[in-house]
Structures are given as C-alpha cells and as structure tokens.
C-alpha cells in the first residue's frame, strides 16, 4: 500500500490517514520506515499464537471504533489478510465505501489457501470498488457476479513498490563470493505448517549436501510454527544461512542477488520474475496463474523429491534456467497506484 499512500499524498484532493493493525508487527515496522510512513492509528493487534476468531474480534472492534471516530470518505486495504477481510466488513456495517486493492485473486478452493481465499472473497464482494491487478483477476470477479462498473484493472502496486526500492542501494546484508550461486527461501503459509514445512526443510538439506558450493539464504518468519521446524532441521548445515526476516530493502537486494527462489509467498511470485529470477512455488495451487502461464513461475508443492528434482534441473541445465529467467512479469508497469487514485477521483459517490 505504500505507493498508494504516496500517490494520495501527492494529490490535492485527498487527506490520507494510515491505520496499521500490526497483525505482523516486526514486518510492518521496517516497511513503514523504508517508505517514511507513520501510522495515524496503530491497533497493535499482534499476539503470540492468537487464534483467528480472537484476532478477528479484536480487529473488528478496533477498526470499527476508528471508523466511528474519523468517518472517512473511503477506506482502502490491500491483499487477503484477516485485516483486509475485517476492514471490508467494518466498512459494510458503517456504510462507508471500501476499495479492495489486489482484488480478484482466486484458487477457487475455499480451503486453499486457508483462510486467505475466504478473506479475499469477502473483501471483493463487499467492496464498493475492486482494483484488480490483471485481466484474469477481473474475470474471476465477473464470474462471481461482481458488477463490471465496480472493477478496474490497474496492475499490482507490489510492482510499484518493487521498482521504487530496486532503484535504491540497500547494501548486501550477507557475505558471499561474487561467483557463488544463492537460493533464497521463504516459507510462512498456514497450510505449510507441520509436515509440509518439515518436507520443505528436508529438501533444502538434501540440496545443500548435493550442491555444497550453493548458498541457501532463509529469512525465517517470526511465527513459531515456522521457526521451530526450520531451526531444528537446518541450523547445523553450513551452506544454509538462517536469519531474522529481512527488511524490504534488504529483501529486494537478496532477490536481485539470488540465482532462484523457493517460496510460498504470493508477493514473491510477482516480484522475483520482474527481476528475472525463477520462482519455484512451495504450493500445489496459486491465485497468480499468469506467471505460471508465462513460464517464469512453477508450482512444485512441498514434497521433498519434487523440490530437489526441480531445483537440480535449474542448477544443472543452463537452457532450462534461461527459459524461466527471462524477466517477464504480467503484474504491472509500476503505475498501479496512480491508476487507483485516478479511479477514486472519478467516483461520484465520493464527490
């Protein structure tokens, strides 16, 4: 959302305020610093191992209180988190227009990813306006009965943010020989907790032993369901560097430096291909089929033999690697935030 906040601040029409729920405290704060954004409201909703019902109730009460006090003309939220779903619901209860940024992403399986597929369904249907990143996302919304007048294809603001940060010099947060190939790993989704996370780590361990000259960088998500497994399975391997989550600037630097990425992240599926980096997705389905169709992203699931085979192919076969590392991204040109503000300027109900 940082590019949208920045674009709104440049507009003479809008007075923009930022509400942070801090559903992910540590990850939020470093991004706010990077883009020089100070929240006007901070609900500080983070709790250790909090159940979704408790988080949802806490967010709904906090967001509703804020809406009642400030009476905004419009609320914008991005993505598929519980925060976004609750923001849409709170706006619906208050009859306040809501705009869903990155709308229309679907796997068409309500339980995968869980609970994100439900979150984006609710947000998309309650939204006054949906900002779809691609034509595929727009068609998903149309098939669900969302009126075409409520959908605008803008590209994804994640590419706006990536282009801003990639132009800056953030230094390299790790030591590595210039000729050493590095695989960047991220894993955090709830459906990968437990046995899938163990299998992912087993694959990384096998690859580290098979390719001793390859370095693995794994910024470990703060959720203990991730950290406990990753540290137990991988901390003894010298080729694997485990670290705290990187701030966004350092993470973009790491993506630029990486040979390829292993990830279950949605954003990485959009960002890394724009930097000409292949992504092997640690999931069986994706709500971003455009990159798969483009050939720059591949679904490999969480079974260790499959992960090892596909990483090995990219490490061993230069032609196979070049096929994926072609620098194509179907998710935007860096102007999504400007298009979103232009749509808001034209909306009659906000006049």
| 80 a catalytic residue | yes
User: Cβ(240)–Cβ(212) under 8 Å?
Assistant: no
Query: Which of these is catalytic: 80, 160, 247, 287?
Result: 80
Which residue(s) pair with 219 in the sheet? 243
Query: Which of these is catalytic: 108, 111, 190, 228?
Result: 190
Query: Which of these is catalytic: 120, 152, 188, 189?
Result: 188
| 108 a catalytic residue | no
> What string of DSSP letters covers 287-327?
S-HHHHHHTSEEE--S-HHHHHHHHHHHHH-HHHHHHH-S-
Return d(Cα 348, Cα 201) in angstroms, integer: 52
Query: Which of these is catalytic: 100, 102, 189, 247?
Result: 102
User: Cβ(242)–Cβ(218) under 8 Å?
Assistant: yes
Query: Which of these is catalytic: 24, 116, 120, 191?
Result: 116
**For the chain, where are the alpha helices, taking DSSP H only?**
2-10, 25-34, 52-70, 82-94, 116-126, 135-143, 157-166, 195-210, 224-234, 248-257, 266-274, 289-294, 304-316, 318-324, 336-346
| 188 a catalytic residue | yes
| 70 a catalytic residue | no
| 102 a catalytic residue | yes
| 116 a catalytic residue | yes
Query: Which of these is catalytic: 120, 221, 257, 288?
Result: 221
Residues serving a catalytic function are 80, 102, 116, 188, 190, 221
């Amino acid at each position: 959302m940082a590019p949208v906040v920045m674009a709104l601040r440049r507009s003479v029409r809008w007075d923009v305020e930022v509400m942070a729920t801090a559903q992910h405290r540590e990850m939020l704060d470093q991004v706010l610093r990077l883009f020089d954004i100070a929240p006007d409201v901070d609900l500080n909703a983070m709790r250790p191992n909090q159940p979704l019902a408790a988080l949802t109730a806490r967010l709904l009460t906090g967001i509703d209180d804020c809406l009642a006090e400030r009476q905004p003309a419009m609320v914008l939220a991005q993505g598929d988190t519980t925060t976004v779903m609750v923001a849409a619901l709170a706006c619906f209860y208050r009859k306040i227009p809501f705009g869903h940024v990155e709308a229309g992403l679907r796997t068409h399986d309500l339980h995968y990813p869980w609970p994100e597929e439900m979150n984006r369904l609710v947000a998309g249907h309650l939204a006054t306006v949906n900002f779809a990143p691609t034509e595929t996302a727009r068609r998903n919304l149309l098939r669900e009965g969302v009126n075409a007048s409520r959908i605008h294809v803008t590209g994804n603001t994640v590419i706006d943010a990536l282009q801003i940060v990639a132009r800056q010099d953030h230094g390299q947060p790790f030591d590595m020989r210039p000729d050493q190939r590095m695989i960047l790993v991220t894993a955090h989704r709830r459906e990968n907790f437990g046995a899938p996370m163990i299998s992912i780590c087993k694959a990384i361990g096998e690859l580290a032993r098979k390719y001793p000259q390859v370095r693995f960088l794994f910024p470990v998500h703060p959720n203990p369901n991730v950290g406990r497994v990753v540290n137990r399975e991988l901390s003894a391997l010298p080729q694997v560097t485990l670290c705290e989550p990187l701030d966004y600037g350092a993470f973009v630097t790491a993506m630029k430096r990486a040979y390829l990425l292993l990830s279950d992240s949605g954003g990485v599926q959009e960002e890394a291909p724009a930097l000409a980096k292949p992504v092997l997705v640690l999931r069986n389905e994706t709500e971003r089929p455009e990159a798969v169709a483009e050939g720059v992203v591949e679904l490999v699931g969480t079974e260790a033999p499959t992960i090892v085979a596909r990483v090995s192919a990219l490490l061993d076969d230069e032609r196979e690697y070049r096929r994926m590392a072609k620098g194509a991204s179907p998710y935007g040109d860096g102007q999504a935030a400007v298009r979103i503000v232009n749509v808001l300027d034209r909306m009659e109900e906000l006049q």
